[in-house]
Structure 1
Amino acid sequence: MFTKLEKMLQILDSRAEKQARKSAETHGRRGFLSKVGGLMVASALFPVLPFDRSMGKAYASDGSSVFDETSCDYWRYCALDGTLCNDSGGTNTSCPPGSDASKVAWVGTCLNPDDGKDYLVSYNDCCGKAALVGSTFCFTSQDERPGYRMGLHNDINWCMANDNKGYYCTVALLVGIVDE
């Protein structure tokens, strides 16, 4: 009985040896090491890849305009009082060509519904061009302070510090996250 078992083990052993030798002939150590190295680099970069944090929420389909940058209801415009630059030849973060950002600005605190965090948003007027007729005007001054002291409310011509004081539109720049 041991002889049959020994023969089977010898056959399995020889087959495994042949397969290992064949693999060693076709696949060298360098190829193996390069594959292992590539796998290690890929696994180190995996945590920095972007991924969807919305947890399956469909924002575009619910009819909400909090994520439409051309709407006054966009979350970043919570304290905006002026014309949207992305509707006037610029973007929500850059002035249109031919205009300059104001040297002074007001700051609002806006809640981003996507991540539930409050952000400081700097509102800079773009100055130097004539106002564009038909652009979207927003007056979404949440928690606006009364106008008894300059700088505490947004109903001011913030282009007053620039050489050309003509107001054109307003951009909304993210300054940072509000610490809790």
Structure 2
Amino acid sequence: MRFLIFFIFFGILACTSKYKTTVSTIDLSNKNLLTIPDSIFSFEQLEYLELGNSFTLYPPLSALGNDTAVNMNKITAVPHNIIRLQNLRKLGLGCNNLISLPIEITQLENLDTLDISFNHHLNIAAALRILKQMKWLKYINIIATNADNNTIDELRKSLPNTLIVATPKDIFIDTNEKPR
């Protein structure tokens, strides 16, 4: 209920010129979303959008209660409206049900961080044409996506200045070292 009130309040602020505000960060993680709300795209100055799911490894998930899995986002697609967020620097979509990425994401040239990890149905080989165009990315997390070693190698060759986290060992790379 609080989420609905929060969302309506920001929707009214975004549509009312008298109370126009600049929102730079929106965190909608763990909100049981199936789609990205259209009202998000009215915040054109948005720099950070978190739509992933966060979870705790300790204590065990069973100790967190029954509502943990219920509140997880299950977003399957990024709408073409993403192009309206030209100031977006960080986009978190981890732990959802993404199947593909829209071509419009390649036009977000301020985006430096993309987390699409733990989207088990996201075929990185199919998204490779899109990802290879994003040469300005500094960081991309593709752990636990549908990616084979050849695809990961091709992505690394195409984005030599991007830190690509594709395996757990990539998390522990020395940041002073050249990205692989």
When Rg is computed on C-alpha atoms for both structures, the one with the higher figure is 1
Give TM-score, length-normalised by structure 1: 0.23
Structure having the larger proportion of residues in strand:
1
